[in-house]
Amino acid sequence: MTTITLLGGAGLMGCGIVRDLISDLAICEFELLRVCDASPERMAALLAELDDPRLEAHRFDAAQPEQLRTLIQGADLCINAVPTLAGFQMSIFETALAARVPYMDLGGLGVFTVEQKGWHQRFVDAGVTAVIGTGGDPGLSNVLCRAVADELDRIDSIRLYWAAETVGPENPVLVPPYSVSTVLAEYARPSTQFLDGRHVECAPMTGVEVLDLPDPFGEIEFMYSPHSEPLTVPLAQGIGDKGIRDFTWKLHLPHREHEAWVGLVKAGFGDFDDPVQVDGRAVKPLDVLNAVIERNIERNRQRMPEQETHEIHFAIGVGQRKGAPGTVRCEVLVRPDDRYAHYVDATTSMNASIAAQLMLTSEAMPGVWAPEEFFDVKRYFVELDRRGFQVRTQIN
């Protein structure tokens, strides 16, 4: 019986992973999906809505090692959708290894990437496969880099970008695109980029670059932010050995939202886990901000206009191809689509589901891998196409 354990399964990304795994897009069969979350209320609502007998709810506290072992033990795959900055990524990762259960996570900011890659030989020796950073960015983005690299014989640079833009009336309510802690970290923390053949720490919100993109994006401003892709892509086989000297990752959020996050960082919310004293009590700024944002959304739902969200993920590789200078651009456009209506972030959760299903239907490859090292590009792109993501490659 194929069993999947999904930790953080009723969170924003976890719910989307569940939806895709049980949809008619699924390419693998499973008999049991353990939806594990700290919120019984969210789990009950999700399972009641989806009404699928393969779903089983489990109260989950990542700080309880014995409970964690029990939930992972015997699964064919452990999907870790617990937010990276919650601080449990390594304990879940190590527990999966001890249980000899294949593992994947959504990664994100690169906080644990180097440490996880350092466990590669232990996973090889144990015969266990782990793929880290398997959502949209990282995840899809890494696969785009592999697609670009495979078209070049020599690589001088790869520049990786992600942008989101909304079309419609301005929303008077700030709605985070994903975890509030992740967004704040992207704006407030230094990033590591690969420049002139080595990893370099860059200050927050630097590396500003303006690009003119097709509608509805137009002329938009990108910036460095902390992510795991620069920590793995330029070192991967078939990329690092092609002479790459520069690899960068840059972000753009819709203009008004960008201003809001900049303002919050200026106000001190960048130190979101550092408690402040309020009336003699220690309070984390993140807890306050999360509560205020959630309350504001709930109170003002009737004022929130209909908006269409567009995303573009693209990698540009420069080097040599067939004996001549070459440039390869590979992009994925995510346009509004009815099938994404019940997802908070369809790109991240659908890509995590794709990764999970490809892991379950591929031969085991023990070790700790980044997506650009593990997934077959053609097979991955087929799954993107089936979900309405538009893949384009341009070679010059």
- Asked whether residue 312 falls in the same domain as residue 370, the answer is no
Query: What's the rounded Cα separation, in Å, for the pair 16 and 18?
Result: 5
Mention every residue, 6+ apart, whose C-beta is less than 8 A from residue 341: none
pLDDT digits (tens, 9 = 90+) for 166-183: 999 999 999 998 889 989
270-287 b/e (C-beta count within 10 Å ≥ 16 → b):
bebeeeeeeeeeeeebbe
- Asked whether residue 357 falls in the same domain as residue 338, the answer is no
- Asked whether residue 154 falls in the same domain as residue 286, the answer is yes
Cβ atoms 233, 227 nearer than 8 A = no
What are the Cα distances from residue 203, in Å, to 145, 208, 209, 220?
Answer: 24, 11, 15, 20
Nearest Cα to 339, choosing from 51, 25, 50? 25
Provide the residue range defining the domain that includes 361.
Answer: 3-135+345-386
- pTM exceeds 0.75: yes
pLDDT of 178: 83
The segments of the chain whose pLDDT lies below 70 read: none
pLDDT of 295: 96
Per DSSP, 342 falls in state T
In the chain, the amino acid numbered 303 is R
- Asked whether residue 273 falls in the same domain as residue 210, the answer is yes
Secondary element (H or E) of residue 7: strand 3-7
Give the bridge partners for 368, in sequence order: 130
Q: How many domains does the chain have?
A: 2
- Asked whether residue 272 falls in the same domain as residue 164, the answer is yes
- Asked whether residue 289 falls in the same domain as residue 178, the answer is yes
The DSSP annotation for 54-90 comes to TEEEEE--TT-HHHHHHHHTT-SEEEE-S-GGGS-HH
- Asked whether residue 289 falls in the same domain as residue 182, the answer is yes
- Asked whether residue 44 falls in the same domain as residue 172, the answer is no
Place of tokens 């995510």: 334
φ/ψ (deg, to 5) at 153: -85, -35
Per DSSP, 109 falls in state S
pLDDT of 169: 94
- Asked whether residue 177 falls in the same domain as residue 301, the answer is yes
pLDDT of 1: 82
Q: What is the CATH number of the domain that holds 116?
A: 3.40.50.720
